[in-house]
């Protein structure tokens, strides 16, 4: 399989994530879509790493995963605390900066 097919797949996955962020209003699902986009980027990294024949791309995937894990932990904590205050996870209803 040549590199292009992997990159096309990666682009499609990324786009799906973008559409998800745009059309869904549930904060948790928006979060999942962000994960999807990060994963699409990971796929491109690994594909290019294979194509270049070296492991650097995979090291970057490692970093991306670390950042994703940190981001999910904090993001979900924020969602939980927003839910405690507002009883909602709809991003449209969470529109004021004051708690």
Within 9-38, the residues that bind other proteins by CB under 8 A are: 9-20, 22-26, 28-29, 31-33, 35-36
Residue ranges in 45-84 that form contacts with other proteins under rule CB under 8 A: 46-53, 55-56, 58-59, 61-63, 65-74, 76-81, 83-84
Can residue 86 be called a binding residue for other proteins (CB under 8 A)? no
Structure token pair of residue 88: 């909602």
Helix (H, G, I), strand (E, B) or coil at 55: coil
Handedness of CA 34, 38, 39, 40 (dihedral sign): positive
Can residue 41 be called a binding residue for other proteins (CB under 8 A)? no
Span between the terminal Cα atoms of the chain, in Å = 52
């Amino acid at each position: 399989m040549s590199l292009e097919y992997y990159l096309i797949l990666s682009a499609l996955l990324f786009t799906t994530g973008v559409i998800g962020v745009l059309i869904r209003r549930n904060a948790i699902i928006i979060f999942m879509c962000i994960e999807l986009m990060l994963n699409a980027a990971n796929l491109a990294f690994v594909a290019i790493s294979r194509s270049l024949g070296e492991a650097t791309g995979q090291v970057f995937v490692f970093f991306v995963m670390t950042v994703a894990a940190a981001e999910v932990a904090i993001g979900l904590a924020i969602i939980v605390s927003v839910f405690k205050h507002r009883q909602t996870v709809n991003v449209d209803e969470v529109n004021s900066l004051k708690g």
